[in-house]
Amino acid sequence: MDETVAEYIRRTVLKIPRDEIKMLLQKWGFLSEAQLQTLNFHQIKDNISQEVVQLCEENSADIKQAAVLDIIYNHAYQNKRMWHVYQMKKSGEDLEYFDITDFKKAFKGRLRSALKNVTITFKEYEDNAIWIRVAWGTPNKKPNQYKPSYVVYHSQTPYVFISTSVLKSTLPLLCQALMVASNYHDIREMELRSHSLNSLKDIVFKRYSQNFQTHSPKPVKGGNVEPEKDIRIVEENKSEKERIHRLNQEVFGSGPLPKLEFAQYRLETMFKSDPKMDVLDKKEPFRCLVKFSSPHLLESLKSLAPAGMADAPLSPLLTCIPHKARNYFKIREKKGLFPEGFVSP
Amino acid sequence: VVASLRQHTNNQERQNFNLSFHAHRAGILDTVDAQKIAFLLRKAWTLYSVTPLFRFHRARLTEYARLLSAFIAAEKRKGLAVEVGVELDIKVALTSLADLRGSELDQAALLVQLSSRSQASSRNSEDKLVWSGWFCSMFGDDFSENVLEDFTCLPLFLSHGAESYTTLVGSWFQKTFDCCFRRLAISPLNLSWMVAMWAGCKLDRAASAVELVFSVPCLSQPLDISYAIHPEDAKALWDTVQKTPGEITQEEVDVFMDCLYAHFHRHFKIHLSATKLVKVSTAVASAHCDGIVKILHSQYLPGVLMLLTELAISQIQ
């Protein structure tokens, strides 16, 4: 077995938390159950990975199998990576039959015609997701297995999720290969990024519970309001609380929200102030960059108004995130009739 | 431009600062060679207030260094080791920095440096600086005026390096000079002073953004908001707000902050004033509410240190 392959497998196993190693190796399926039984998982990881490498040596593992192990690791720990969303466009309306074998062949063909040294690996998952791993080399160097790109493509959709290699120059070639293989003629990056791959999928596939309009004329009882136990206790602002709750429901829905970690707004709007204050009155934009971050951004935004930190309804700049499928914005002043409005190009 | 703060009330809870700044108060530090103070810049310093040192003698620095070194070695033998694994010999250096002060009435700054030389390496290997801390007083005259003879006033302490070393050095000073160290927290009020003042500073080079970081912890999910303004635009705003020549008032700082809050609210409908301002960052310096500052520009060093000295003094009083 090649020394570089051995080292790569050793380092990949080292990344896995000790309790998860056996399960991921089983998913990999390269080592037999009997071989797995011989492994002692109660020692330090350094030793476990050495033992795994020895077993791989017995089975003569090559880079192809090692690459599959890497996909399995990254699929299990997908949230460690930052994912960008791309949308592809077809020229015609025809829904062509998707053949996975043709796709793989065309993808590999396109890449290999441009670059001799690449390692390309595919793995299909139950939810129709095709995971693609590409390790990039140069005409003179073997592929760098430690800086691959990962692509997740759902064949029935025009969406591709890419976690790029740090080798940025490889991105255009990757996009080209995707288009050629999947029969699309254009691809563009959406302004949507997150560590949570599932949340990105929720947003673009519209898998979360969206706004629902309550058509019933009678007001919805605030779900958070506890029934009073003591009639001497009167809840202040009860109707305001209920109004906020209802507005939140309308905008955010009542189901779980997709998990995003941040949203970024580049503001190029005018600074407007109370004329009495006699402050800045420039004709040029007041340039700002605003970033919101949270372990679960949409949930925290939803709780701002009930906590009294924001007005209800919350600004559409924030509430549009899921249905506009973006978390990067550039906001300019809207010219003309409505000076208070904003446009987002 | 150098500014000085004077506390409006003595009440620790409600700090109401009435800032007046004089035309640049000529100080000793202004003429110092940039090289000498380079070590201060671009490092994150943790701030403490220190009560006056009793019977501290400048002439005895070498002796103090020896005693501190012995203290550290003894603590390590007791098992309070700071480094696990590698055995390190800690060397202590105490230096007086005569130029690092505001006026003649200030005590010269005192620099403490801990260096290590790994026992494993050869005799020729260089010492590696592992921790530094310095005591300082920048125009702290109001404070030192009222202090008795045997006491040395250096109310501001800044440390950089492992906290375990800070604890060791701090305990030795506390035992030896009967003083008291306390972490210096920076309130949102003081942070807004800092960002307003520093945003208005004129800088010859291209400046970095004026950034305010807010934290909203008590929600179902914590939220952090970073609000960064182009430095030219922030300065333009401050220049129209700051009207009184030779003075910065609380009112002007409030107007500046309200303008920023209003601009934010217009877009996002969020009341930033209801959140907690935890960090401010400008091209001059950055400061965090936990009492951590980074000074980025030597030109405004005296001003920043003066402000920090005032904060330290008000925490002691």
A82 to chain B, any CB pair closer than 8 A? The answer is no
- Per-residue pLDDT tens over the stretch B67-96: 999 998 888 877 765 555 445 678 899 999
Q: What percent of chain A has pLDDT over 70?
A: 87
User: Is residue A218 over pLDDT 70?
Assistant: no
Q: Which residue of A has its CA nearest to B265?
A: A310
What are the tens digits of pLDDT across the range B43-67?
999 999 999 999 999 999 999 999 9
Q: Is A224 on the interface with B (CB under 8 A)?
A: no
User: What is the per-residue pLDDT for A262?
Assistant: 92
Q: What is the mean pLDDT of residues B296-300?
A: 83
Q: How far is B297 from chain A (nearest CA, A)?
A: 23
Q: Which range, of A126-135, B42-51, B200-209, B212-221, averages the lowest pLDDT?
A: B200-209
What residues does A142 pair with on adjacent strands?
none
Mapping DSSP onto H, E and C, the string for B176-192 reads HHCCCEEECCCCHHHHH
Residue B9, pLDDT score: 34
Q: Tell me the pLDDT tens digit for each residue of A112-150.
A: 999 889 999 999 998 889 999 999 998 889 999 999 999
Predicted pLDDT of residue A215: 43
| Whole-number pLDDT of residue B10 | 34
pLDDT digits (tens, 9 = 90+) for A235-262: 777 888 888 888 888 888 778 888 899 9
Say whether the peptide bond before residue A158 is cis (omega within 30 degrees of 0).
Answer: no
Contacts of A273 in chain B (CB under 8 A): 259, 262
Q: Do B223 and A292 touch (CB under 8 A)?
A: yes
End-to-end CA distance of chain A: 54
Residue A340: pLDDT over 50 = no
pLDDT at residue number B14: 31
Position B13 pLDDT exceeds 50? no
Determine whether the interchain pair A296/B236 forms a contact, defined as Cβ–Cβ distance below 8 Å.
no
The answer to whether residue B212 neighbours chain A at the CB level (below 8 Å) is no
A276 touches chain B (CB under 8 A): no
- Phi/psi zone of residue A85: left (φ > 0), alpha (ψ -120 to 50 degrees), beta? beta
**Whether the complex's predicted ipTM surpasses the cut of 0.90:** no
Instruction: Pick the residue from chain A with its C-alpha nearest to B276.
Output: A309
Band (B167; pLDDT cuts 50, 70, 90): very high
pLDDT of B131: 94
Task: Flag if B270 and A280 touch (Cβ within 8 Å).
Answer: no
User: Do B50 and B155 meet the contact criterion of CB atoms below 8 Å apart?
Assistant: yes
Given a cut of 60, whether residue A228 has pLDDT beyond it is no
Range name among A89-93, A300-304, B31-35, B212-216 with the lowest pLDDT average:
B31-35
Q: Which residues of A touch B225 (CB under 8 A)?
A: 290-293
Q: According to the model, what pLDDT value does residue B119 have? A: 59
Q: What confidence category does residue B124 fall into, taking pLDDT thresholds of 50, 70 and 90?
A: low
Closest CB from B228, B236, B240 relative to A289: B228
Please indicate if any CB of chain A lies within 8 Å of the CB of B244. Answer: no
C-beta neighbour count of B301 within 10 angstroms? 22
**Contact yes or no for A288 and B228 at CB 8 A:** yes
Q: Is A296 on the interface with B (CB under 8 A)?
A: yes
Which of A104-108, A156-160, B97-101, B219-223 has the largest mean confidence? A104-108
The predicted pLDDT at position B3 comes to 40
pLDDT of residue A219: 45
Mean pLDDT within B7-34: 48
- Chain A residues close to B262, C-beta within 8 Å: 273
**Which range, of A74-83, A336-345, B82-91, B224-233, averages the lowest pLDDT?**
A336-345
**Residue B295 tokens, joined:** 């000074």
CB within 8 Å of A299: residues ≥ 6 apart: A257, B220, B221
**Share above pLDDT 90 across residues of chain B, in percent, rounded to a whole number:** 50
Spell out which residues of chain B touch residue A281, defining contact as CB-CB under 8 Å.
240
pLDDT score of B25: 57
Mean of the pLDDT values across residues B26-42? 76
Average pLDDT over chain A reads 85
Between A332 and B1, the higher pLDDT residue: A332
pLDDT top residue among B37 and A334: B37
Question: Does position B113 have pLDDT exceeding 90, yes or no?
Answer: yes
- Which residues from chain A sit within 8 angstroms of residue B264, using beta carbons? 290
Is the pLDDT reported for residue A280 higher than 80?
A: no
Query: Going by DSSP bridges, is the β-strand pair B4-7/B109-118 parallel, antiparallel, or unpaired?
Result: unpaired
Distances A271 to A279, B85, B129, B235, B316 between C-alpha atoms, Å? 10, 57, 48, 13, 41
Can you give the pLDDT at residue A209?
Answer: 67
Predicted confidence at residue A246, as pLDDT, reads 86
Q: Minimal Cα distance from B261: which residue of A?
A: A273
Cβ-based contacts of B218 with chain A (< 8 Å): 307
In tens, the pLDDT along A26-43 reads 999 999 999 999 998 899
Residue B256: predicted pLDDT? 92
Within chain A, residue ranges assigned H as helices are: 3-15, 21-28, 33-37, 45-58, 63-76, 100-114, 171-182, 197-204, 238-252, 297-302, 316-319, 321-324
Chain A contact set for B228 (CB, 8 A): 288-291
Report the pLDDT value the prediction gives residue B23, as an integer from 0 to 100.
Answer: 33
Query: Is B269–A311 a contact, with Cβ atoms under 8 angstroms apart?
Result: yes
Q: Does B268 touch chain A (CB under 8 A)?
A: yes
pTM: 0.81
Across the interface, of A280, A291, A295, the residue whose CB is closest to B236 is: A280
Contact B269 A300 (CB under 8 A): no
CB nearest to B225's CB, from A281, A292, A314: A292
Task: Tell whether the model's pLDDT for residue B125 goes beyond 70.
Answer: no
Q: In this structure, is the dihedral angle defined by the CA atoms of residues A180, A185, A189 and A192, taken in order, positive or negative?
A: negative
Q: Is the pLDDT of residue B311 over 50?
A: yes
Question: Residues of B with CB below 8 A from A287's CB?
Answer: 229-230, 233
Q: Say whether residue B225 is in contact with chain A using an 8 A CB cutoff.
A: yes
Instruction: Select from B266, B271, B276 the residue whose CB has the most chain A CBs within 10 Å, as the one to mutate to test that interface.
Output: B266
DSSP sequence for A103-118: HHHHHHHHHHHH-SSE
pLDDT at B282 over 90: yes
**Alpha-carbon distance B304 to B294, whole Å?**
10
Average pLDDT over residues A209-223: 48
Above 70 in pLDDT, residue B29? no
- Identify the CA nearest to A314 among candidates A305, A324, A322, A327: A305
Chain B neighbors of A295, CB-CB under 8 A: 221-222
Q: Which residues of B touch A296 (CB under 8 A)?
A: 221
> What is the mean pLDDT of the segment spanning B176-200?
93
